């Protein structure tokens, strides 16, 4: 496995183009959220089809209510129980979603993903690195150090056990910007996939940490990320 130096990636779809065999691919977007990347892959003609999976019932309902797109199917399901036959996909994507899988189900989830990948198919896992100013802001109300470490450990176990082969680990930084603190709260605190239950005092502490980052164009951060590229072993 090679480890590349960090780079600035403003648009992660550009990284997907470089790392994955997208043309004609059958894709599973696992933990798709609002499925922006799923839609882009199809709208730009980069893949054949996308099954977009999520366990968040609120977001799933929103996805179903959005304008339909040829080749895009929304499925209420998680990584540990994917309702598709063996070898249904050429590529599986997980954007900031592996660490949301319960720790006790991570090994089963990676085995399930390997099952639905065709032999030689690739799993692309993009996860935030627990470091940097944006992380320090987020951890005031949503500390993910343990769950992110568990997700990375599960990937390494999958490689050690031969469930998936480690192909590449790549670090990069991606910009994230907010118009103001209200925009930050709407996008990062009032999420439907996790009950953060941030009280007034905690929110005020977050505001005090956020405000020094504000400038004429809002608050801008560089978020460190890690991509692990894994392959289902061929027979």
pLDDT, tens digit, for every residue of 194-208? Answer: 666 677 788 888 999
Res. 189: pLDDT tops 90: no
Res. 219: pLDDT tops 60: yes
The average pLDDT across 105-122 equals 98
110 and 154 Cβ atoms separated by less than 8 Å? yes
- Secondary element (H or E) of residue 208: helix 200-210
The H helix count followed by the E strand count for the chain is 8, 9
Would you tell me how many other CB atoms lie within 10 Å of the CB of residue 211?
11
CATH superfamily of 2-130+143-174+225-231: Vaccinia Virus protein VP39 (3.40.50.150)
Lowest mean per-residue pLDDT among 3-12, 32-41, 155-164, 173-182: 3-12
- So where are the chain's domains? 2-130+143-174+225-231
**Is residue 164 packed enough to be buried (19+ CB in 10 Å), middle (13-18) or exposed (0-12)?**
buried
**pLDDT at residue 203, rounded to an integer:** 86
**pLDDT at residue 4, rounded to an integer:** 53
pLDDT, tens digit, for every residue of 139-166? Answer: 988 899 999 999 999 999 999 999 999 9
* CB crowding 104-118: b at 16 or more within 10 Å, else e: eebbebbebbbebbb
Residue 209 structure tokens? 């940490």
- The Cα–Cα gap between 215 and 221 comes to 11
Q: How confident is residue 78, by pLDDT bands cut at 50, 70 and 90?
A: very high
Q: Checking phi first, is residue 132 left (phi over 0); if not, alpha (psi -120 to 50) or beta? A: left
C-alpha distance from residue 94 to each of 33, 118, 122, 181 (Å):
10, 17, 11, 28
**pLDDT at residue 2, rounded to an integer:** 54
């Amino acid at each position: 496995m090679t480890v590349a130096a960090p780079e600035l990636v403003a648009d992660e779809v550009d990284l997907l183009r470089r790392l994955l065999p997208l043309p004609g691919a059958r894709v599973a977007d696992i933990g798709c959220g609002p499925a922006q990347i799923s839609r882009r892959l199809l709208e730009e003609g980069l893949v054949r089809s996308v099954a977009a999976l999520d366990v968040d019932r609120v977001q799933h309902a929103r996805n179903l209510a959005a304008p339909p797109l040829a080749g895009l199917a929304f499925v209420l399901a998680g990584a540990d129980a994917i309702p598709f036959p063996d070898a249904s996909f050429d590529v599986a994507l997980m954007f900031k979603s592996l660490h949301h899988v319960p720790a006790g189900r991570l090994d089963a989830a990676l085995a399930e993903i390997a099952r639905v990948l065709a032999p030689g198919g690739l799993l692309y896992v993009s996860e935030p690195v627990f470091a940097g100013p944006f992380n320090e802001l987020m951890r005031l109300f949503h500390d993910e150090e343990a769950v992110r470490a568990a997700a990375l450990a599960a990937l390494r176990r999958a490689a050690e056990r031969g469930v998936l082969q480690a192909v590449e680990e790549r670090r990069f930084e991606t910009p994230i910007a907010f118009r103001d603190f209200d925009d930050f709260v709407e996008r990062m605190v009032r999420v439907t996939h996790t009950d953060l239950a941030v009280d007034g005092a905690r929110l005020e502490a977050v505001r005090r940490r956020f405000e020094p980052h504000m400038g004429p164009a809002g608050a801008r951060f560089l978020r460190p990320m890690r991509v692990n590229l894994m392959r289902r072993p061929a027979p």
